[in-house]
Chain A
Amino acid sequence: MLSRHAETLFWIGRYVERSSYITRMMDVAYNKQLERSARSSDEVWWDLLRVLYLEDDYRAEYGDDVTTASINRYLVFDTENSSSVKSSVTQARTNMMNVRDIVPLELLEAMNRLHAQLGAGGLEGFVEQTPHQIYETVAGQCRAITGAVDEAMPRDDGYRFLMIGRLLERAEMTCRMVDVNRTVSGRDVSSWMTVLRSVSGFHAFTREHGPLAPADEVVEFMLLEPSFPFGVLHCLQRAWQLTQEVIGAGTWQSPRLAGRLTADLQYADIPAVDSPDLEGVLERIENGIRETSEALHHDLYQFGGDPLLYSFEAL
C-alpha cells in the first residue's frame, strides 16, 4: 500500500469519528441543558465549547450569547469553523475522493450520502426546535460508514490505518467527554448515565456496576474497561495491536509510543472525579495520542525521505 494512501485513510478514520463523536457530545449537552439543573443552559454549551477548545473562536464569530440554534449552527453546519461536523465530513469526503481508487464503492457511497445530507440544507431547519433529528441523522450515516468499512474493506494496511485513525480519535474524544462532564456535572450520577448512553455504554456498565454506581466508577469504566468499545484503554490497545501488524519488522517508532501509552494507562491510578489530578491524567493521554499520530507520519515516510523535502532538494 502506498504510504500516501495509508496516511489519507488514517485521516479519514479520524475525521469520520470526529464528526460522529461531536454529534454525540452535542446530544449529551443538549439533553443536559433541557434538564435545567445546577447550571444554566448556556453554561452547558460554554463548557462544551471549552472542551473542544472553541470558546474564543465562537465568541469571535457569534458574540457572547449562545442559543440552541446558534450552537447547533456553529458546531454542526458552520464551515468557517474547521472543527464543525460539516467541516469534518467535508474533510473526510475530500480525503476519500483522493484515494477513491482503493476505497470500496459501498464506503464511497455511504460517505457521499452523509456529505450530501449536510450539504443539502434540509437538516439546517432543525437547529432550533429539534436538533436531535440532526444528531440522529449524522449518527445513522456514520454507522453506515462504519458498517461499510467492516463489511467491504479487505483487512490490509489500508484497513489498519483507517482503524488506527478512528481508534486514536475516539480515545481522544472519550477523554474530552469525561473532561466535559467532570466540569459540567461533577458527581451527578444521572448525567454520567447520559454520557454512557451517548457512547452506547449504559447497558454494559449497569450490568457490571448497577445503575446507581458512583461517578468515579463511571470514569474508571470509560478509561480502563478493556471490553468497552468507546473506552480509552480498549481503543489504545487495539490501535497498538494494529500498528504492530502493519510494521512486522521493528524499525517504526509509532508502535513503541502506542505501547508505552497503553501500558501507562493500564496501570495508572485514576483520580477521583473532583480531584484536580484527573485533568492531568487526561492531558497525558491526549499528548500521548498526538505523539503517536506524529510518529506514524514519520514512520510512513522514513524510506526515501519526506516527499516534500525531497522535491525541494531535487529542484
Chain B
Amino acid sequence: MSSRALLTEKIAFFCLLLCTLIIVIPVILITAVIVKNGIAGLSWEFLTQSPRLGMRAGGIFPAIVGTVYLVLGTMLFALPVGILAAVYLTEYAKDNWLTRVIDIAIVNLAGVPSVVYGLFGLGLFVVFLKFGASIIAGSLTLAIMSLPVIITASREALNTVPQSFREVSLALGATRWQTIRHVVLPNSISGIVTGTILALSRAAGETAPILFTVAAFYLPRLPQSLFDQCMALPYHLYVLSTQVPNIKPHIQYGTALVLVLMIMIMNIVAIVIRSHFRKKKLW
C-alpha cells in the first residue's frame, strides 16, 4: 500500500469522524441543557399541582395525567388491531396482490405527516362521528398513527418464530388459531411488546395529531370521561414556549424534562423486556 493511499484514508476517516461528531455532540449538549435547567424546575409541587397564574406558576399535573390517558387509550385501540394485522400478514396472507396492496398501505400510513393525521382525526372523529375534541378522538387518531409501527414490529417478531414450531403444532392436530394462540404468539410476545412500547413512546411525544382532536390549552379539573378534552405534555410545552410571555425558563425546561423522561422510561422498559426475553430464548 502506498503511503499516499494511507494518508487519503487517514483524512477520509477523520472527515467521517467529524460528520459523526457534528451529529452526536449537539445530542449530548441538548440533553445536558434540558437536564441542567429542567432539574431546577422539578419539585413535588411541580409534578402534583395544576398550573396557576396563567401557567407562570404551579405545576403540570393535569398535563401528565392527560398524556398517560392518551397513551393508554392509544394502546387499547392500536395493540389488538396491530397484533392481529401482523398475524394475518405472517400466518394467513398468501403472496398475492392483496398482500402487496396491504404492504403499500402500511408503508404509506407510516409516511403520512402527523399533522395530516390530525386533520383526519378532526374530520372523522371530532366532526363526522361527533365525538368532539375528546380523549377518545385523540387516542383513536394517535392509535391509527401508531398502527404501522406496531404492525411492522410485530411482523418481525412473528417471523423470528421458527417454521418448525408451527409444523409440530399442526402435526399434533392443533388448529391454525390454536397454533397461533399457544405456540406462535407466546414465542414472539417480547418482540411485539417491545415494538408496541416504542410506538407508544412516539405517540406520547406527538403534538400535531392532538392539536385539534383533544388538547386543551388549560383545564382546571381532570377529565371525567372519554368524551372530555384533556391537557397533554407536548401541547403544554408548545403553549409554554410560544403563547405565554414572561414565563420563567425553569417551568418550560421542567416540562420538557418530564416529557423526555417519560419517553426515556418507556424506551428503557422496552429494552429491558427485549434483553430479558432474549436470554430466555431457547433456539
> Do A and B make up one complex?
no
